[in-house]
Amino acid sequence: MNFPPDVPSFEPEQLLSWAIQQFGQRFAVVTSFQKEGMVLVHMAVQIFPKVRVLTIDTGRMPEETYAMMETVRQHYNISIETLTPDATESSRLVTLHGPNLFRQSGALRKLCCEVRKVRPLARKMTELDAFAVGLRRGQSEERAHVEKVAVDGPRLKLSPLADWDEEQIEKYLTEHQVPVHPLYAQGYATVGCHCCTRAIQPGEALRAGRWWWENEGDKECGLHVTPKGQLKRELDVLLEEITAS
């Protein structure tokens, strides 16, 4: 999909405004209600109060996330489109590998994320021509080269905050009185499934609280960084077993 050459240089609000005007209801903000995502939600609602907001409920979310979802819904008077895993796939996942398969191997952890997060979002993407996420280059080594505007198959993936730092995020949240996920107050730096996320210790990397038992590999679920090499081959085999009719 083509876009004007000056679009990647837009400031976040300008980029969101362009996307809303360009794509209308075929654009959405995708968020798990972390700080960056909440900045985007706030910006987008100011531009268009009926902007589409999507979130993924994996079935393993902490109670604080459900409370945050309701806070956001009421605060901005918006609907939140909630995506869930395919019931048959999630049932097969647990039947074959148990409820806590993510502790057994990197490939099984990726499989859990694939079924509970990646595939539900992929199904919803057929309704969209563009979407925005809260990725920042400073979040991790894997995200260091995130582009503000990237072609993601037949649609555009926007990361309006790609070049923002933590200080800019915090300043925006404070100045605009944006709701903040309650787990941040408990020492969390990122928020995911309750079984796969913990608070971090002083000096730890931002994403150290994700899948902390893994000694190797990226701290990613597959939504933004696709597995490669042997891990990808193992994941493909496992996924075929889950999705076979």
**H-helix or E-strand containing 237?**
helix 229-243
d(CA 46, CA 67): 23
Residues 102 and 109: beta-carbon distance below 8 Å: yes
> How does DSSP classify residue 185?
G
Please return the burial class of 7, using the count of CB atoms within 10 Å of its CB with bins 0-12, 13-18 and 19+. middle
d(CA 48, CA 101): 41
Sheet containing 149-152: give its strands across: 81-83, 52-56, 27-30, 130-132, 155-158, 149-152
d(CA 28, CA 132): 6
Beta-bridge partners for 83: 56
* 221 catalytically annotated: yes
User: Out of 112, 193, 196, 221, which one is annotated catalytic?
Assistant: 221
Residues 9 and 147: beta-carbon distance below 8 Å: no
Which residues are designated catalytic? Answer: 221
